[in-house]
A and B are shown apart, each in its own frame.
Chain A
Amino acid sequence: MSVGKPLPHDAAHLHVTGAARYVDDIPAPANALSLAFGLSHVAAGTITAMDLSAVRAAPGVVAVLTAEDLPFDNDVSPSNHDEPLLATGEVHYMGQPVFMVVADSHLNARKAARLGRVEIDPRGPILSIESAMEADSRFEDGPRIWTKGDVGQALQDAPRRLQGRIEMGGQEHFYLEGHAALALPQEGGDMVVHSSTQHPTEIQHKVAEALGVPMNAVRVEVRRMGGGFGGKESQGNALAVACAVAARATGRPCRMRYDRDDDMVITGKRHDFRIDYDVGYDDTGRVLAVDFTQMTRCGWAMDLSLPVADRAMLHADNAYLLDAVRITSHRLKTNTQSATAYRGFGGPQGVLGIERVMDEVAHALGMDAADVRRRNYYRAMGDVAGGPAPRPADSPRSFPTEMKEGDIASRGSQAFDDDRAEVGVASENTTPYGMKVADFILHEMTDALLERCDYFARRDAIAQWNAENGLLKRGIAFSPVKFGISFTLTHLNQAGALVHVYQDGSVHMNHGGTEMGQGLFQKVAQVAASRFGIGVDRVKITATDTGKVPNTSATAASSGSDLNGMAVQAACDTIRDRIAACLAELHQCSAEDVRFADGRVRVGGEDMSFTRAVQTAYENRVSLSATGFYKTPDLAWDRIKGQGRPFFYFAQGAAVTEVVIDTLTGENRILRTDILHDAGASLNPGLDIGQVEGGYVQGAGWLTTEELVWDDKGRLTTHAPSTYKIPACSDRPGVFNVDLWDQPNPAQTVYRSKAVGEPPFMLGISAHLALSDACAACGPAYPDLQAPATAEEVLRAVTRARG
């Protein structure tokens, strides 16, 4: 069976030979045109005049479009209809597209775009958390507040108390392949769009709106992306819509790709956060109460900010049972890029908040931080009584009578609240949002990891080493992650698949998930191969296509394999069962006795090749094509109340990182990292370990070298690799041990595997905590290390630690 084998990425050979085709590699017809945006040069203001005559006159320019030239909807928002493709009168951030140029080449379009004269009467931009709070510039009418227990009383009663704040920066996605799209006009006004997107249905929906056609007139195809990381969940809309509109206007194919600088200046990034905490705890390190205030800059448009900020709240507990907790979340509207999805989707920010609390409590008590963490863990799976989870009723009690303007396939959707949520509140081992944690395995994982990496002995050795060394200080830290798996917008937890078996026994597999390098297609192909008992080489992986599988959810929330693997399994099983029924009838036996394994099919006493079985079914007029569908069970969630069961299960992991800092400069290195990560019964340990390694390094990068800087005019000054530092291969830990826990998921997922895309990102937090530990070795005070911990910030923390 191919499931569980560490097979390489299906396109690995194509990647390394350069033969893998990305959107901009697709040969376009000779008459294809290229697009570029003209951008706003101020962060906030009113457009008073626009002179585009020089743009129109520039070499190769075929058309120049402004908002007024758009035939139908001027909107690329995935949520709130607040994101015009081209600015209409007002500009809201520096880099906002104001007009678009259609020219005979990419270079000519870009050159011409620079010739636009746009006069803007500037307004004072709202850039900071302070100014946004002061101006009450926010999304939603006020902060979201979720509570569990009596926080005020518990804080008052706690024997010990501390307050603090951690600021954490945003993060540029830095996918190797920038955004790109290609629109090919068809007969009768139809449109085919190739897009580098994690969400083909979203592209289809926005293009249809922009062209004034139904969704059935638009087909979107995505073979692969060169990285997405959430940056291509909604941010590809602008390019696809622009290309489609231009293709409609000119009757010619249109393509667009962002130059790297433009990509960084135009598109949204990870939400930066400030988290204030007020903590009550006791002498044993048990946290008795926490009051969190989370503030985030969402940028100028809503995009996916509400569910991102929700997920930050949903992970404010991480792995810890908190009896009294209040989480207040401010979603601030600022004149910056519209912050968007990024691996973890707010989860990492929430987790860093509580990990910071654990770190500071341990420091205040002089206790080992790993011990403090274990003391606060949820109770283990075996120690929690079973019992029904709150379940949704069978059907909605009421249907919205009128469809609100909205984008129901997007995580930003607020079209209607799901009033099916019979939201029950569990009574024990519950999260701050009332969900019972019934699958907590971090006690065992932590014990295993700490032992495997010799944590306590190394911690003592480091303390000894630090006592002997003045200039360099080492630090070590452990951090766990418990990450909720499912889209928090419940209805997105569905997926479809389409599988054909041809007469020669080869299989054509299609599903709604997109490939962005993570290896989803291979994992799902392994599922298909296993269902038919054939080798994965007989399964053709095909591009995601809205014409084959409709109404897909974004490949996001780590859900790609969970959802699409199950849908493909269902489709394969339908075909397999049809073949089995056919063979059983011919051989006068029961269909259950037909066995598919090792490329053979055994029925009655006979053993035939899979191909022969397929041919027999074909000759007996059995359909060898099927769709498959899956929806995640047992979800019920009320995001306004902050109550319910938003997640199907929790993926978990644990990491120990050791670092060294130079106390004179703040320079630092990761010396060693040990990770134990829970991927359930892994579908493909090779790919899963790759995700864990990549997630850790990306998470560590977020908290160390990756620093986004805007100037006081709202200009992003870090808009190229010369100023923005992502981790390189040489920045990875010198010793990097990654193991999978590899125990079956108690929840009924595909082959009992677990989602693995986002959770390991948060293991990078252990690097930040290790830096904090190293700084703490410099003096008696708490170093109060902020993020990102650049060398300068580490030096500041060293100074603070010295008191």
Chain B
Amino acid sequence: MYNFDITRPTTVDEAVAALSADEAQPLSGGQTLIPTLKQRLAMPSVLVSLTAIDEMKGITEGPGTLKVGGGTTHGDVAQATKGSFAGLHTLASKIGDPAVRARGTIGGSVANNDPAACYPSACMACAATIHTNTRDIAADDFFQGMFTTALDEGEIVTAVTLKVPEKSSYQKFEQPASRFPLVGVFVAKHADGVRVGVTGASNNGVFRWAEAEEALSSNFSPDAIEGLSVSAEDLMGDLHGSPEYRAHLIKVMTKRGVADAS
């Protein structure tokens, strides 16, 4: 780790101000950033901790929506969604291990946009709105590729509002050693159609499987996508699985998700 200063503002405004410093970087739960710092892969001058900002924490139910503060931990999301939002509950309660879930936050996860992170798939499938200190961004516009988002320099994810689906399921095929998704699929059936978010699989990060969404919107059953297939082109191939295997798993996980949600 290189040396850095740390500051712990208590409001979003203070945090934004602190982030205007040269080489300042926001720190949320630190489950990705701290190991990165340890590896000396980042050299911030100042870390702006977001964990003391109360206005960024907590979960509020709206009409058909769930607003999750950017600083809310996975553990808190898992707790709050138990019995009410199956897909999100499964997703949050299976991220990492208890230590990770006690520290890691939804804001950190979506802002980082790791291609194998779980949350982005839920955001895509639940037509989420990403709230920042300056604007609201639709999930479809927010995630722009591996580790790339629409966020500007110094912009903070303050909350994420998800549309609560009628039915949902998150299916994660775990890479056995790390338990990151080799493929993770979030299936959400909304009143106005079905959305399918896929993570872990693509070289371009999270994406929606449009053909499946269309087929499932008219017939929400695993059979509806029987004839579909995912192209392995542009999917990740690495030591844990080939692009073809990932393509195959996307369909299997989607069907599982539909079966589970139905």
Contact = CB atoms under 8 A, between A and B. Distances in A.
B245 A795 contact: yes
Interface in A299-324: none
Nearest to B178: A722
Given A722-B177, A724-B177, A725-B176, A792 B239 contact: no
A665 B249 CA distance: 6
A792 B173 contact: no
A718 interface: yes
B242 A705 contact: no
What are the 3 A-B residue pairs with the smallest beta carbon separation, nearest first? A725-B177, A709-B239, A725-B176
Given A707-B239, A718-B239, 12 more contacts: A665-B173, A665-B248, A665-B249, A665-B252, A667-B173, A705-B176, A722-B178, A723-B239, A723-B240, A791-B176, A792-B242, A792-B245
B98 interface: no
A721 B239 contact: no
A721 B252 contact: no
Nearest to A726: B177
B62 interface: no
A623 interface: no
Contacts of B241: 792
Most chain A CB atoms below 10 A, which of B176, B178, B248, B255: B176
Interface in A692-709: 705, 707, 709
A721 B248 contact: no
Interface string B173-191: 1001110000000000000
Interface of A: 664-665, 667, 705, 707, 709, 717-718, 721-725, 791-792, 795
Nearest to A710: B239
Interface of B: 173, 176-178, 239-242, 245, 248-249, 252, 255
Contacts of A707: 239
A795 B248 contact: yes
Contacts of A665: 173, 248-249, 252
Contacts of A791: 176
20 contacts: A664-B252, A665-B173, A665-B248, A665-B249, A665-B252, A667-B173, A707-B239, A709-B239, A717-B239, A718-B239, A722-B177, A722-B178, A723-B177, A723-B239, A723-B240, A724-B177, A725-B176, A792-B241, A792-B242, A792-B245
Nearest to A792: B245
A667 B241 CA distance: 13
Contacts of A718: 239
B218 to A, nearest CB: 23
Nearest to B245: A792
A717 B249 CA distance: 23
B40 to A, nearest CB: 9
Contacts of B177: 705, 721-725
A667 B253 CA distance: 12
A792 B252 CA distance: 13
A717 B239 CA distance: 7
B245 A723 contact: no
Contacts of A717: 239
A695 to B, nearest CB: 21
Nearest to A114: B40
A718 B252 CA distance: 27
Nearest to B255: A664
A725 to B, nearest CB: 4
Contacts of A722: 177-178
Nearest to B173: A665
Contact of B178 (A709, A723, A795): A723
A792 B182 CA distance: 11
B25 to A, nearest CB: 23
A791 B241 CA distance: 9
A705 B177 CA distance: 9
Contacts of B242: 792
B221 to A, nearest CB: 16
Nearest to A111: B40
A113 B241 CA distance: 33
B241 to A, nearest CB: 6
A705 B175 CA distance: 10
Most chain A CB atoms below 10 A, which of B241, B242, B252, B255: B252
A723 B238 CA distance: 11
Contacts of A667: 173
A705 B240 CA distance: 11
A721 B97 CA distance: 15
A795 B255 CA distance: 17
A709 B239 CA distance: 6
Contacts of A792: 241-242, 245
Nearest to B177: A725
B173 to A, nearest CB: 6
Contacts of B255: 664
B180 to A, nearest CB: 9
A716 to B, nearest CB: 10
A718 B255 CA distance: 31
Contacts of B252: 664-665
A307 B178 CA distance: 35
Most chain B CB atoms below 10 A, which of A705, A709, A723: A723
Most chain B CB atoms below 10 A, which of A667, A791, A795: A791
Contacts of A664: 252, 255
Nearest to A667: B173
Contacts of B176: 705, 725, 791
Nearest to A718: B239
A666 to B, nearest CB: 8
A715 to B, nearest CB: 11
Contacts of B240: 723
A736 B45 CA distance: 55
Nearest to A724: B177
B178 to A, nearest CB: 4
A721 B175 CA distance: 12
A388 to B, nearest CB: 53
A718 B240 CA distance: 10
Nearest to A728: B176
A635 B107 CA distance: 69
Contacts of A723: 177-178, 239-240
A172 to B, nearest CB: 11
Contacts of A721: 177
B258 to A, nearest CB: 13
A725 B177 CA distance: 5
B193 to A, nearest CB: 26
Contacts of B249: 665
B71 to A, nearest CB: 26
A260 B252 CA distance: 36
A721 B177 CA distance: 6
Nearest to A799: B248
Nearest to A721: B177
Nearest to A717: B239
Nearest to A720: B177
A367 B147 CA distance: 54
A377 B252 CA distance: 43
B153 to A, nearest CB: 31
B142 to A, nearest CB: 28
A722 B100 CA distance: 15
B182 to A, nearest CB: 9
A717 B255 CA distance: 32
A722 B174 CA distance: 12
Nearest to B176: A725
Nearest to B252: A664
Contacts of B248: 665, 795
Contacts of B245: 792, 795
B213 to A, nearest CB: 21
Most chain B CB atoms below 10 A, which of A665, A709, A718: A665
A795 B178 CA distance: 21
A792 B238 CA distance: 12
Contacts of B239: 707, 709, 717-718, 723
